[in-house]
Structure 1
Amino acid sequence: MQQSETSRVAIITGGAGGLGYPIAERLAAQGHKVAIWDINGERAQAAAAKLPNAKGYEVDVTDPDAVHEATARVVSDLGPLGILVTCAGHNGPLREFAEYPLDGWRFVMSLNLDAVFHCCQAAVREMLKTGYGRIVNMASIAGKEGNPNAVAYSASKAGVIGLTKSIGRELATTSIRVNCVTPAAIETEMLEQLTPEFKAYVTSKIPVGRLGRAEEVAALVCWLTSEECSFSTGAVFDVSGGRATY
């Protein structure tokens, strides 16, 4: 007989919207205590108020000191950290490479890659204390294939894949599992950052013929954060409607 899942403390970055909120919603429904992180504190608290056993936190994940301080607050408020899901991110500018703005590159890399490093490091330090943890980083199919006119986004998500593989292998002999998910275009508010032409392009690349749904990603993430995910680590899980080429 399958044992019930132990209630864990989970941090969801970007948890007030996008892919983060459906994931937070599903984890809360499973009985986990959910810490919703967002750059907008009011938004985080409003999202948390809709869920059982959830608390909202205003956190700038690009600031390593803020990340480590917020992690300590979550542990103090809710208990030992068992789960981290990093969903905070941005598409950044959509520009031809020859004209791609340096400030756009730095913004995207800071939020999409540096912040994942900060959050994973803070989480791992806590998880090593208990010897258990599940980390899921939100990458993208763009990190595998590269999307034209989105060099910073594609490069940052490729970096998330490499970061995940490295941490997963390093911690493989512990009970901490570190994986990432590579969605194709998903129907969330993040799509509002795209031009109609670029949205049509990414949709056309999906063999299933439609955009993905947030709940489809959340279902996969929830398995990856579970105790059942015990033999997969440093791995990349596609939810791309058949778009993935490797």
Structure 2
Amino acid sequence: MTNHWDNYHQRWQLLDAPLRPTAETVGIFDRELDLGNADVLLLGVTPELAVLGRSMLAIDQSATMISGVWAGDNASRKAMAGNWLSLPLEQASFDAVIGDGCLSAVDTKAARHTLFGEIARVLKPCRRAAIRVFARPETADDLQSIEALVLAGGVENFHALKWRIAMACTSDDGDFTVKVRTIRDTFDSMFPDREALAARTGWSMTSINTVDVYAGSDISYSFATLATLIDEASNRFGEVCVVPSGSYPLAERCPLLVLGSPRRL
């Protein structure tokens, strides 16, 4: 097996929305949480979000992602390696917690519950968090419909196709997981001729070949439904609302989950 995140950072600059937030999305994070004077915890090292807040601490489990993606520490911004499910932080120590897709990077319902709990624990009273989520539809797409949509020109870019395939392949239990290598294997079975796909869609081979970072990976993602994520978040937050995250490919499945009134157990 390969180390997924050690390889992933090498393809980072090749990714686009919906896998990375747009400038519009960054502005929505800022607006919803009023981050101008906030001390912010960032789950992950998403560079687009690293500019937000008065100060920022970013935590990522992968030292390679930190060295490969993080813009670098300065007087007000720092990144460190750590486990999101057991944050090395004091209770009620941040004005805001933000993250991009971090709920899909943990692969079980239990892990999501723990992550929501840790976000609630480190937030100051009466402050809020915002996480951009990747939520599969209540009724999962079937692969034949996805293939037909691609061939009809209805999928805007290759990264949106990756997420459509991933969401179609998630388990139907409470975890909603998919092994990332399954995403690549399923794509290859649907579109065995990548050059023909590039010619049909106008997508670059460089973009299409980013799917190969999933080959042999030993991890899983989760793509829970939005209703599931709202229900799970409500166990740890008194206020949960859904805010559109902008206009980009598949944005309708990638809203912000804005969380307030944290409950500490």
Please classify the TM superposition score into its range, dividing by the shorter chain length.
Answer: 0.3 to 0.5
Taking structure 1 as the reference length, the TM-score comes to 0.45
The structure richer in helix per residue is: 1
Larger RCO (CA under 8 A, 6+ residues apart):
2
Taking structure 2 as the reference length, the TM-score comes to 0.42
Larger Rg: 1 or 2? 2
